[in-house]
Structure 1
Amino acid sequence: MRKRLLSAAVMAVALSGISAPQAFAGGVSAQDEMFLMQAHQGNLAEIAAGNDAQKHATTDCVKHVGTVLVRDHSKLDADVKMLAGKLNVTLPGSPSPEQRKELAAVQAKAGSPAYDAAWLTTQDAAHRKTLALIDQELKAGKNAEVKAAARSARPVVAMHLDMVRGGTCHAAKDARMVHAGSGGHLAADTSLPAENSLATAGFLSMAGGLAAGGSAWFWLTRRRSAERR
């Protein structure tokens, strides 16, 4: 009898440890796949635009914003590529035709003040679209890790929009929110929910196991006391 009770307690702990991580993993929906693909294309487009601004812009402000875009979107894209590989999502190899066309139109004005104005206006529109893409993923996405990546990217993209808002350059808006080696996640962001934290998932799994084991042990102890009487 005691052996059966102990076996039940061990099984409860094992099952709790298995079920919690699965609950955090989640599936990959069509929305999640679309977000990863379009986010990757957006990152590629921003990196290309940033590199072009460093070469052809006529003002230091626009050149600096271009540098920021390359820096941040390179790191954000590291997350996208990592998740895509993990979730078996095939990413496009280049920006969309529309994005390439927009950059070509700006490049046609290279070396003139018109270039800076066109570049800023294009980036204003592009970052508004990216924010809408992120918000759609946060609203309708299913995979916890993909949603966490979207949530982590949002303040960075919002900062970029502030730097080009209304077609006017605001280099001072650079908050340097994405740091080297972060994989695109915000070092200062401590508000991410449990679905973005493997450590939290592990802790909850362990806590669930301890709770189940404690409950089984309490029941077993009471059983023994009853038998002694």
Structure 2
Amino acid sequence: MRTRLISLAALVVAVSAISAAPSVAATVSDQDAMFVKSAHQGNLAEIAAGQDAQKHATTKCVKTVGAVLVRDHGKLDADLKMLADKLNVMLPASPTEEQRRELAAVQAKAGTSEYDAAWLKTQDAAHTKTLSMIDHELKAGKNAEVMAAARAARPVVAMHLDMVRGGTCHAGKDARMVRAGSGGHLAAADGALATAELVSMAGGGLLAAGGAAWFWRTRRRSAEHR
């Protein structure tokens, strides 16, 4: 009987330890890692393009859209870098060579009316490509946190695309869904993940508490029958 009680006590301790242990992130697949890296480079490219538009665009509309890109992609990238660090994904230090060439081609028209048209056309193509990349991650991704980041970024990128679609400027499409420092959609995604973790911890805690109660009831009954 004593051996049985010791075994039950060990079980309760083991269950408690499991419930208290932090959740371990799922393995990051090649697809997930590639998405994180590409999304980071896309954010860097959009921030650079937005800053350039604020300096060289000739219309207020394009300058405004440029500011929106800096605001939103800055926030998205800050969260993405934290996720990459958590998942041990090494991020590139700069946009791709193609992205740098595209910006240079637009910059060559700085100070002219052609700049605005070229900038809008380039951003239309860039955000269309990014949206396709996000949709692919949502279909082929494996890591829940990476997919949550992609899901959170999608409406932001779609909003940006609406602002430059067809090479026409629509600054009024800014729904201000992501504000620097507020967390925006990513905050909602993080909240959902945090809620899931709390539920998991609570479930583990209840299991441990139930095991402890069962252990003490069994011990009490054994004592009464002696």
Partners of 1:165 and 1:123 in 2: how far apart? 8
Query: What is the TM-score when the length of structure 2 is the normalising length?
Result: 0.86
2:18 to 15, 19, 22: 15
Cα deviation digits, residues 149-197 of structure 1 (max 9, x gap): 2222111111111111111111011111222324x5427x74x488x52
Partners of 2:136 and 2:216 in 1: how far apart? 50
Give, in angstroms, the shift of residue 124 of structure 1.
0.8
Partners of 2:81 and 2:12 in 1: how far apart? 42
Amino-acid identity (%): 63
After the TM superposition, list the runs of 4 or more consecutive aligned residues in structure 1 that deviate by more than 4 angstroms. Answer: 222-229
Pair 1:118-2:121 in alignment: no
1:67 equivalent in structure 2 = 67
Which residues of 2 match residues 159-198 of structure 1 at below 5 A? 159-182=159-182, 184-186=183-185, 190=188, 192=189, 197-198=193-194
List gaps (5 residues or longer) in structure 1: none
Aligned residues: 222
SS in 2 for 1:186: helix
CA contact (8 A) 1:179 1:186 kept: no
Partners of 1:3 and 1:226 in 2: how far apart? 13
2:83 equivalent in structure 1 = 83
CA contact (8 A) 2:18 2:204 kept: no
CA contact (8 A) 1:10 1:213 kept: no
Give, in angstroms, the shift of residue 133 of structure 1.
1.4
SS in 1 for 2:176: coil
1:214 to 210, 214, 217: 210
Which residues of 2 match residues 150-161 of structure 1 at below 5 A? 150-161=150-161
The residue type equivalent to 1:173 in the other structure is K
The residue type equivalent to 2:99 in the other structure is Q
The residue type equivalent to 1:217 in the other structure is A
Give, in angstroms, the shift of residue 132 of structure 1.
1.3
Stretch deviating more after TM superposition (66-75 or 130-139): 130-139
The residue type equivalent to 1:203 in the other structure is V
1:108 equivalent in structure 2 = 108
Give, in angstroms, the shift of residue 97 of structure 1.
1.2
The residue type equivalent to 2:132 in the other structure is A
CA contact (8 A) 1:164 1:170 kept: yes
Partners of 2:51 and 2:133 in 1: how far apart? 23
Distance 1:193 1:186, change over 3 A: closer
CA contact (8 A) 2:57 2:110 kept: yes
Partners of 2:6 and 2:178 in 1: how far apart? 54
CA contact (8 A) 1:106 1:115 kept: yes
Partners of 1:85 and 1:4 in 2: how far apart? 41
Cα deviation digits, residues 1-41 of structure 1 (max 9, x gap): 334323322322322443x713xx11111112111111111
Give, in angstroms, the shift of residue 42 of structure 1.
0.6
Distance 1:52 1:115, change over 3 A: same
Partners of 1:218 and 1:86 in 2: how far apart? 38
Partners of 1:64 and 1:122 in 2: how far apart? 16
